[in-house]
Amino acid sequence: MNTRCKPGLASFAQAHSKKVGVAAAVPPFSAQLRPNATAAAIVPPTLTMNGVSHGVVVGATANGPRCVAPTEEGSIHDSSPLPQVPGDVHPNCICESRQRSSDELHLQEIQKTLPSHFPHRPTQGKLGRPIQLMANHFSAEIPAGNVYQYDVEIFYENNKEAKIPEKRKYRCISTKINRLVIELLVKKYRLDLSHCIPAIDGRKNLYTRRELKFRERTFAVDLEEDQRVQKFAVKIQYAATVNLDALHTVFENRVNTVPQEVLQAIDIVLRHGPSIKLTPVGQSFFKPPLPNQARPLGGGREVWFGYYTSVRPAQWKPMLNVDMSATAFYEPQPVISFMCKILSDRRREMTAADFRDLRDFQNVPLNKELKGLRIKASIPLY
């Protein structure tokens, strides 16, 4: 059976070939319909506008053009009419905008799920002569096996019989206090922790080399500070098992996806020791300068120098990147001296005698600067 295009197709294509960029008007075609024929054999040439396929237009009705598609039995199936398009808007524009928006959404979804990959190196460099370079990264040997991740929550516990609310919102007390509490926890409950020395990021992530005997447990820890005892409750709960071998498979060229959870665990373990002995700020560690090396910045502040560490995957093995960093700290000094530096200006330098009577315009900057600072009371000896 031969099927030919209705006259409406030729006139439709000729009328719009110049407007929408059709290479040539679609001539009448014929297709021999045979049972069990494939779609490529029985589907007539499609009408393509600006690189976008819109099906096979075989005619037009009062409601707009119609499309046909072959069925499995080899007959032509007439689909429902397309919606009416205004006269000043060509159907191709709507189809292209819908296709473009759909493709952009699909591309955004794919980009969110794409893992990080190593860039492919085209070849080894052979031109020139090799030289030695001083670099701020060091070779890191990562052991095999697993590390175990736990969620830790530390609360103030003033009452011995008080229970930790299950749905209570967690708030980080202080990264320094949290590390001190975990240190006391390890000394007091060494057997319960299977003699493990855990590493903590100062907040909620805790890692151990061996799996603990419990899935969830709450411990009581007493911290003595400034001649007073503070009671804490520490809740530890199993979170995940991190396989370090996933990083080794990357350098063995078996996979090309860098496991970020492994790098996070290694970073936390390497930062745990320096965070206890030094002052951690973000991902850097700082040490107070010696009295003869202090560099004041003005306004009661001084600069401290430290270093930053991060584990980065190189082309053949993981490397530890170490870089220098600096930040501002408050100078350890009496409150009166700090107030003098805050309120002094170019016209006048404040002294302790000027603070017998503070005015309102002086209280505003002082309250702003003193808020959140740790002040230790000192009683003079008579």
> What is the mean pLDDT of the segment spanning 139-152?
92
Note whether 35 and 80 are same-domain residues: yes
Note whether 207 and 307 are same-domain residues: no
From 219, 243, 265, the end of a domain falls on 265
Note whether 319 and 227 are same-domain residues: no
pLDDT of 314 over the 50 cut: yes
- 228-243 sheet: strands from edge to edge: 199-200, 205-208, 146-156, 228-243, 216-225
pTM of the complete model: 0.59
From 108, 136, 166, the end of a domain falls on 108
Q: For residue 329, count other CB atoms closer than 10 A to its CB.
A: 15
Note whether 249 and 286 are same-domain residues: no
Note whether 314 and 358 are same-domain residues: no
Q: Is residue 48 part of a domain?
A: yes
Measuring CA to CA, which residue among 233, 196, 240 is closest to residue 217? 233
pLDDT > 70: percent of the chain = 63
- Write out the H or E segment, with its range, that includes residue 290: none
Q: Is residue 244 part of a domain?
A: yes
Question: Looking at residue 45, what DSSP letter applies?
Answer: P
Least confident of 96-110, 178-192, 196-210: 96-110
Q: For residue 11, count other CB atoms closer than 10 A to its CB.
A: 12
Q: Is residue 125 part of a domain?
A: no
Note whether 45 and 61 are same-domain residues: yes
Quick one: pLDDT at residue 99? 56
Q: Is residue 134 part of a domain?
A: no
pLDDT of 218 over the 70 cut: yes
Question: How many domains does the chain divide into?
Answer: 4
| pLDDT bracket for residue 252 (50, 70, 90) | confident
Quick one: pLDDT at residue 157? 76
| pLDDT bracket for residue 236 (50, 70, 90) | very high
Maximum average pLDDT range among 22-26, 67-71, 100-104: 100-104
Range of the domain at 283: 278-331
Note whether 256 and 282 are same-domain residues: no
Q: Is residue 34 part of a domain?
A: yes
Distance CA 8, CA 368 (A): 79
Quick one: pLDDT at residue 189? 93
Quick one: pLDDT at residue 107? 66
Quick one: pLDDT at residue 163? 47
Note whether 154 and 254 are same-domain residues: yes
Q: Is residue 140 part of a domain?
A: no
Quickly tell me which residue has 């390890």 as its tokens: 186
Quick one: pLDDT at residue 118? 59
Note whether 326 and 354 are same-domain residues: no
Note whether 316 and 345 are same-domain residues: no
Q: Is residue 212 part of a domain?
A: yes
Q: Is residue 101 part of a domain?
A: yes
pLDDT of 3 over the 60 cut: no
Note whether 347 and 303 are same-domain residues: no
Structure token digits, residue 36: 């069990």
Note whether 157 and 258 are same-domain residues: yes
From 108, 136, 170, the end of a domain falls on 108
Q: What is the pLDDT of residues 80-132, one digit of tens each?
A: 444 444 444 444 444 455 555 666 676 667 665 655 565 667 777 788 888 88
Quick one: pLDDT at residue 37? 39
